[in-house]
C-alpha cells in the first residue's frame, strides 16, 4: 500500500504552506499600502477627470511633430551618436568582460578538474586572482550607468565619448557576471576528454570550453546591446551626448513639438536595433 | 543553474576559409565600428591624459573615506525607503497595465492557432476584428517600453509635480510595456494540448485562459515579475536624477556639489539594497517554482 501515502498528501494539501502563503499575500498588500502612502501616490489625480484632461491637453500640445530641416538634422546627428554609444559601449563591454571572465569563474580560475594537480601556493595565488576579478566585476556592475557617465564626463569632458566609456564599464560588469555563470555550467566531460589526450590548458579552453560557451556569450551580448540602445538614449541627460541631450533640452524649454520628434526617433532607433539584433541572433546562433 | 542548452559551435580549424556570410559580417561589423568610432568622437589621448588621470584621482581621494557621519546616515533612511516604495508600487502599476494588455497581445488567444481554427476559417472580417485589439495592444506595449523610463519620468514630473509619485508612474508605464510583452510570450509558449482539451469540453475563451493557460504560466509570470522588481529598484534609484525622489536624487545632489564621499556612501547603500532585493526575490522565486 505504499502508493497511498503520496495520494493522500496530495489531496489534503500542505496546511502549513497555506498559512504562510496567506501571510505572504498579506505582507505584500501591506507593503503596497505602505508604498502608496510613502510615495504620495494619487491614482485619482491621474485617472480622475482633471488628470485625464490635463494629460490629454499635454498630448495635444505634442502634435504635430516638428519636422523642420534643422531639427531633423539635429535628430540625425543625435541618433547616430546614440547608436554609436550603444554599439561601441557594448563592444568595449564584451572586450573587458571577455578579458576578465576567465579569471572570474571558479572552475577556470582555481577549482575543479583543471587544477587538481596544482600546488597549494599556486592555488592560493589563483584564488586571489579570482577574488580580484570577481570584486572588480561587482564594482563595475553595481555603479549605475548614469553615475559612471557623470564620472567620465568629469574626466574627459562633455560629448558621446564619456557615454561610450560609461556604458562599456557598467555593461562589462553585467556581462562578466552572465559570462561567468555560463562558464561555470560547462559540461566537464569534453574537458576531461581533452585533458586525457594530454591537451594543455589553452588547448582545453579553445577546443573544450569556447565551443560550448560562445553561442551563449553572443546571445547575452546581443541582449545587452538591446538594453544599451535604450540607455544610450538617455546618456545625454548628464551631458554624455546622443538623443538624450536634445530631449533634456526640449523638455526643459517646453519645446513639445521637438520632443515628440525626438521621442519618435528613439522609438524608431530602438525598434531598428531590436530587429537587427533578432536578425543577428537568427543568423549567428 | 540549469545546464547549458545551446548546441556547441565548431571552432574553425587553423587555415580553414571563412564562409561568405562570415566575411560579409566581418566587413559590415568593421565598418559600423569605424563609423561609430567617428560619430562618438572617441578621444583616447584625452582619456589617458594626465589631466583625466588627475580628475579621477580627485574623485577617489574625495570619495574615500565615504561619508559615514550619523546625521548623514540617518538622513538617508527616508530616501532609501522611498526608493523601495517607488519600486514596489511601480511594479504593481506595471502589473496592472501589463497583465490585461499582455492577454490582449497573446496571438494564440486573440486570433491565431488551433483555438480559432473553426471560428475563423473563411471569415476574413471576423479575423480582422479579432486581430485589431491584438495589434493595438502590441503597438501600445511597444510604445510604452521604447520610451525610456527617464523620459516618462520627466513627462510625469511635468504632469504631477516633483516627488516620488512621477517615479512610480514612469516605472509603471515603462515596465508595463515590458511585462505585457513578456507575459504574452509566456502565454504563447504554454503547452497547447490542455487548451484544446478545454475547448473540446465547450469552455469559453475565458475558461480556456483561466484554467488552461494561467496555471501553466503562473510560475513564470511570478518569476519574471520578481526579476523586474529587482530592476525597478535600480531604475528608481536613477529616476531621482530628474527629480522623481529616492536615493537617485541624493546621488544627483551630492554629485553636483562634488561631495564624492557622500556619493560613495550612497552607491554603497544602493548596492546593499539591490543585494537585499536579489536575496528576497530569490527566496520567493524558489517557493513559487
List pLDDT tens digits, range B171-199. 999 999 999 999 998 998 888 888 888 88
Q: Residue B100's domain is classified under what CATH number?
A: 1.10.3720.10
> What's the 3-state SS for B177-230?
HHHHHHHHHHHHCCCHHHHHHHHHCCCCHHHHHHHHHHHHHHHHHHHHHHHHHH
Residues of B in contact with A213 (CB under 8 A): 4
Q: What is the pLDDT of residues A61-80, one digit of tens each?
A: 888 888 888 889 989 999 99
Q: Is residue B138 part of a domain?
A: yes
Q: Is residue A1 part of a domain?
A: no
Residues of B in contact with A84 (CB under 8 A): 35-40
Determine which of B7, B20, B36, B247 to mutate to test the interface with A (most A C-beta atoms within 10 Å): B36
Domain count, chain A: 1
Q: Is residue B9 part of a domain?
A: no
* Contacting residues for B284 by C-beta, under 8 A, at least 6 apart: A24, B222, B226
- Tell me the shortest Cα–Cα distance from B164 to chain A, in angstroms: 5
In this complex, is the C-beta atom of A241 within 8 Å of any C-beta atom belonging to chain B? yes
Q: Please report, in angstroms and rounded to a whole number, the separation of the first and last CA atoms in chain A.
A: 51
Distance CA A261, CA B157 (A): 20
Cell of B50: 594626465
- A263 closest CB neighbour out of B82, B147, B255: B147
Contact, B241 vs B251, CB < 8 A? yes
Residue B98 above 90 pLDDT?
yes
Among A161-170, B109-118, B141-150, name the one with the lowest average pLDDT.
B109-118
- pLDDT, residue B76, reads 86
Distance CA A180, CA B122 (A): 53
B46 and A214 in contact by Cβ < 8 A? Answer: no
- Tell me the shortest Cα–Cα distance from A238 to chain B, in angstroms: 9
| Average predicted confidence (pLDDT) for chain A | 84
Q: Residue A156's domain is classified under what CATH number?
A: 1.10.3720.10
Classify residue B19 as exposed, middle or buried by CB count within 10 Å of its CB (0-12, 13-18, 19+). Answer: exposed
Q: Is residue B40 part of a domain?
A: no
Q: Is residue B22 part of a domain?
A: no
Q: Is residue B63 part of a domain?
A: no
Q: Is residue A157 part of a domain?
A: yes
Note down the domain range covering A192: 89-284
The tally of CA atoms less than 13 A away on the side-chain side of residue A276 is: 16
In this complex, is the C-beta atom of A197 within 8 Å of any C-beta atom belonging to chain B? no
* Contacting residues for B12 by C-beta, under 8 A, at least 6 apart: B18
Residue B1 above 50 pLDDT?
no
- pLDDT, residue B42, reads 86
Note down the domain range covering B139: 70-288
Comparing alpha-carbon positions, the chain A residue that sits nearest to B239 is A146
Cell of A285: 546562433
- pLDDT, residue B61, reads 82
B160 and A185 in contact by Cβ < 8 A? Answer: no
* pTM, entire model: 0.81
Domain count, chain B: 1
A-B contacts (CB, under 8 Å): 176
Number of helical (H) and strand (E) elements in chain A, helices listed first: 14, 0
How would residue B212 be classed by pLDDT, with cut points 50, 70 and 90? Answer: confident
Amino acid at each position: 500500500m505504499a502508493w497511498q501515502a503520496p495520494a493522500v498528501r496530495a489531496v489534503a494539501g500542505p496546511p502549513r504552506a497555506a498559512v504562510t502563503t496567506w501571510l505572504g499575500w498579506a505582507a505584500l498588500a501591506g507593503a503596497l499600502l505602505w508604498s502608496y502612502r510613502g510615495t504620495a501616490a494619487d491614482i485619482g489625480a491621474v485617472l480622475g477627470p482633471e488628470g485625464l484632461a490635463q494629460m490629454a491637453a499635454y498630448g495635444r500640445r505634442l502634435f504635430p511633430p516638428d519636422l523642420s530641416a534643422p531639427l531633423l538634422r539635429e535628430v540625425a546627428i543625435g541618433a547616430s551618436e546614440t547608436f554609436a554609444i550603444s554599439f561601441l559601449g557594448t563592444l568595449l563591454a564584451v572586450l573587458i568582460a571577455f578579458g576578465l571572465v576567465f579569471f572570474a569563474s571558479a572552475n577556470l580560475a582555481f577549482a575543479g578538474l583543471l587544477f587538481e594537480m596544482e600546488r597549494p601556493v599556486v592555488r592560493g595565488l589563483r584564488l586571489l586572482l579570482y577574488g580580484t576579478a570577481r570584486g572588480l566585476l561587482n564594482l563595475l556592475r553595481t555603479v549605475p550607468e548614469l553615475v559612471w557617465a557623470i564620472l567620465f564626463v568629469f574626466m574627459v569632458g562633455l560629448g558621446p565619448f564619456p557615454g561610450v566609456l560609461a556604458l562599456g564599464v557598467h555593461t562589462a560588469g553585467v556581462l562578466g557576471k552572465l559570462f561567468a555563470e555560463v562558464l561555470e555550467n560547462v559540461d566537464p566531460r569534453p574537458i576531461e576528454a581533452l585533458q586525457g589526450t594530454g591537451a594543455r590548458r589553452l588547448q582545453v579552453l579553445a577546443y573544450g570550453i569556447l565551443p560550448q560557451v560562445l553561442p551563449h556569450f553572443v546571445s547575452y551580448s546581443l541582449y545587452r546591446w538591446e538594453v544599451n540602445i535604450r540607455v544610450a538614449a538617455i546618456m545625454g541627460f548628464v551631458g554624455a551626448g546622443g538623443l538624450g541631450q536634445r530631449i533634456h533640452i526640449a523638455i526643459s524649454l517646453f519645446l513639445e513639438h521637438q520632443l515628440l520628434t525626438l521621442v519618435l526617433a528613439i522609438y524608431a532607433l530602438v525598434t531598428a536595433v531590436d530587429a537587427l539584433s533578432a536578425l543577428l541572433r537568427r543568423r549567428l546562433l | 543553474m540549469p545546464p547549458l542548452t545551446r548546441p556547441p559551435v565548431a571552432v574553425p580549424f587553423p587555415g580553414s576559409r571563412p564562409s561568405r556570410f562570415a566575411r560579409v559580417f566581418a566587413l559590415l561589423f568593421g565598418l559600423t565600428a569605424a563609423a561609430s568610432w567617428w560619430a562618438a568622437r572617441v578621444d583616447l589621448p584625452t582619456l589617458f591624459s594626465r589631466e583625466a588621470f588627475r580628475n579621477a584621482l580627485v574623485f577617489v581621494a574625495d570619495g574615500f573615506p565615504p561619508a559615514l557621519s550619523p546625521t548623514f546616515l540617518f538622513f538617508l533612511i527616508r530616501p532609501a525607503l522611498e526608493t523601495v516604495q517607488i519600486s514596489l508600487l511601480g511594479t504593481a502599476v506595471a502589473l496592472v497595465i501589463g497583465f490585461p494588455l499582455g492577454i490582449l497581445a497573446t496571438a494564440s488567444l486573440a486570433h491565431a492557432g488551433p483555438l480559432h481554427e473553426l471560428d475563423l476559417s473563411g471569415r476574413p472580417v471576423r479575423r480582422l476584428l479579432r486581430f485589431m485589439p491584438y495589434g493595438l495592444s502590441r503597438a501600445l506595449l511597444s510604445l510604452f517600453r521604447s520610451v525610456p523610463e527617464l523620459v516618462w519620468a520627466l513627462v510625469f514630473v511635468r504632469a504631477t509635480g516633483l516627488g516620488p509619485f512621477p517615479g512610480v508612474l514612469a516605472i509603471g508605464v515603462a515596465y508595463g510595456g515590458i511585462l505585457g510583452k513578456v507575459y504574452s510570450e509566456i502565454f504563447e509558449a504554454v503547452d497547447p494540448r490542455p487548451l484544446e482539451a478545454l475547448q473540446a469540453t465547450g469552455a469559453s475563451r475565458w475558461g480556456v485562459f483561466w484554467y488552461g493557460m494561467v496555471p501553466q504560466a503562473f510560475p513564470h509570470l511570478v518569476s519574471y515579475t520578481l526579476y523586474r522588481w529587482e530592476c525597478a529598484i535600480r531604475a528608481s534609484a536613477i529616476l531621482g536624477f530628474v527629480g522623481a525622489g529616492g536615493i537617485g536624487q541624493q546621488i544627483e545632489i551630492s554629485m553636483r556639489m562634488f561631495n564624492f564621499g557622500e556619493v560613495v556612501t550612497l552607491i554603497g547603500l544602493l548596492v546593499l539594497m539591490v543585494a537585499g532585493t536579489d536575496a528576497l526575490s530569490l527566496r520567493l522565486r524558489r517557493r513559487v517554482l
